Amino acid sequence: MMIIGFLFYRMLVYYLDMQIDHDLVEEIMEVKEYSDKSTFYEPHEFEDLIVQYKKISKANPSSSYADTVFYNPVKHRTETARYLKTELELVGQPYQILVIASKFERQEQIRNICLIILIPVMILFAVVLMVNRILLKKIWKPFEQLLQNITAFNINHERPYEPVDMPVAEFKQLNQVLVELSGKVKSDYDEIKLFTENASHEMMTPLAVINSKLDNMLQSNVLGKEDGETLVELYKATSRLTKLNQSLLLLVKIDNNLLHDEQKVNIKALIEEKAVYFQELIGGRNLTVDLELADISISASLQLLEMLINNLFSNVIRHNYDGGKIEIRLDAEKIVFSNTGHNHALDPEKIFDRFYKDSASEGTGLGLSILKQICNRQHYLLAYSYNHDLHTFTITFNN
């Protein structure tokens, strides 16, 4: 529209110039006609024309057209104009004739024509935009509701996916696919969840029986030395299997956001409580604990925070050496647990992967994975670094 409008305007200006040039030629003819009467032609006052005569030495039969600006003595204002300059023999003498015609009135006509065309077009354009916006809003509003329902859908909740009445055939088909897909996902999730819970429960029962029998056998005095050592290894293996089962079940609960107990938790009090809880293990290995805790409270899941602090304490104790050092720092932004250890820096890219552990470790390889999942669920940033012979885990709270 802008290009066509510009071309239309230029075409009007072009035809205006052609018409004025034609009028200028007629004025030159009038000048010739009056020169035969031994007088110079002067235009009428109302014609918006100026004819100027200048005597020259020799007339050269050539003409030139151009735009100019002149002072209109009749209207007492400066106007744009078109002029024709030519040379003629008048009353036996060579003269240069300059005919100037005002373009003001015709430019006003062009402006009026453009406004007459432009104003309805702009009104039409505004109406089209408004109608288009209303129609699009009406068409896309159900789709926005569809997106909201998809976002709000949670397989952990009992409420099923809510379908939306869609006016567009393609959206109706999309909605139907989403209803069927959400139903299947919900059904499959419930089956997997039930299977996981049942399998975990069923595994715990025989493991508890095995541990009980092994405890009884270890406490009896009828076993030889080799049998006793074998039973100790079996006892360790079943204990690890029990811990592994519990850790995997815990990871499933964290992954699926099944722990809902958010409340205001005093982190300082929680760390101090866990420090007392782990005091026996800390004292048994002659570890030095340096606490620097600010009185900080945050809104979070108490259950997840207890797991978080337990895992941090367990990690800095288990992977330390006798007589080593533990540093714990807490401020409004972060928790920092640091400990000495036998190993140098660990691989920060793999350290939080499931079942990744040092070859000498007797753990399940899930402790730091649980730590990572808890931080992800609570939207905390977990980072590992190794400086000054200290393994440091930093947990930065969200805003």
Q: Do 104 and 9 belong together in one domain?
A: yes
Contact 186, 155 (CB under 8 A): yes
| Residue 297's CATH number | 3.30.565.10
List the single range of 42-51, 219-228, 246-255 with lowest mean pLDDT.
246-255
* Mean pLDDT value across residues 10-17: 86
Structure confidence by residue, pLDDT tens digits, 58-114: 877 778 888 888 887 777 788 888 888 888 877 777 888 888 888 888 888 888 888
Same domain, 337 and 266: yes
pLDDT at 131 over 90: yes
Question: Where is the domain boundary, 233, 255, 277?
Answer: 255
* Inside any domain, residue 145: no
Strand order in the sheet with 93-102: 49-55, 93-102, 77-90, 63-72
More confident residue, 196 or 341: 341
pLDDT value of position 375:
80
Last residue of a domain, one of 255, 273, 299: 255
**122-136, 303-317, 367-381 — which is least confidently predicted?**
367-381
Out of 266-275, 349-358, 380-389, least confident range: 349-358
Choice among 164-173, 297-306, 358-367 with the minimum mean pLDDT: 358-367
For the ranges 80-84, 223-227, 395-399, the lowest mean pLDDT is seen at 223-227
How, if at all, do strands 288-293 and 325-330 pair?
parallel
pLDDT digits (tens, 9 = 90+) for 342-361: 777 776 667 776 665 655 55
Q: Considering its fold, how many domains does the chain have in total?
A: 3
In a domain, residue 131? The reply is: no
pLDDT of 228-268, one tens digit each? 677 777 767 776 666 666 656 666 666 655 555 667 888 88
Q: What pLDDT sits at residue 123?
A: 93
Residue 345's pLDDT is 73
* Shared domain check, 268 and 219: no
152 within domain boundaries: no
Q: Are residues 334 and 382 in the same domain?
A: yes
The residue with greater pLDDT, 223 or 164, is 164
159 part of a folded domain: no
> 103 with 80: CB under 8 angstroms?
yes
**268 shares its domain with 374:** yes
- Ranges 141-150, 220-229, 254-263, 323-332, most confident: 323-332
| Res. 212: pLDDT tops 80 | no
Report pLDDT for 130: 94
Task: Using pLDDT thresholds of 50, 70 and 90, give the confidence band for residue 124.
Answer: very high
Same domain, 250 and 324: no
Parallel/antiparallel/unpaired status of strands 77-90 and 93-102: antiparallel
Distance between CA atoms of 188 and 155, rounded to whole angstroms? 10
Up-side HSE of residue 128: CA atoms within 13 Å toward CB? 6
120 inside domain: no
Residues 361 and 310 reside in one and the same domain: yes
Residue 136 in any domain: the answer is no
Residues 250 and 284 in one domain: no
Q: Please provide the average confidence, as pLDDT, over all residues in the chain.
A: 79
pLDDT of residue 128: 94
Which among 61-65, 148-152, 230-234, 324-328 has the top mean pLDDT? Answer: 324-328
Identify the domain boundary among 193, 223, 255.
255
Of 151-155, 176-180, 202-206, 334-338, give the lowest mean pLDDT range: 202-206
Indicate if 243 and 281 belong to the same structural domain: no
Residue span of the structural domain in which 361 resides: 262-396
Residue 25 in any domain: the answer is yes
Q: Check whether residue 268 and residue 299 sit in a common domain.
A: yes
User: b/e string for 181-220 if b means 16 or more Cβ within 10 A?
Assistant: ebeeebeeeeeebeeeeeeeeebeeebeebbeebeeeeee
One domain for residues 277 and 384? yes
Q: Quick one: 285 and 365 in the same domain?
A: yes
pLDDT for residue 132: 93
> Full-prediction pTM beyond 0.75?
no
Please report the pLDDT score of residue 36 as a whole number: 62
3 state SS for 198-247? HHHHHHHHHHHHHHHHHHHHHHCCCCCHHHHHHHHHHHHHHHHHHHHHHH
The answer to whether residue 301 scores a pLDDT higher than 80 is: no
Inside any domain, residue 6: yes
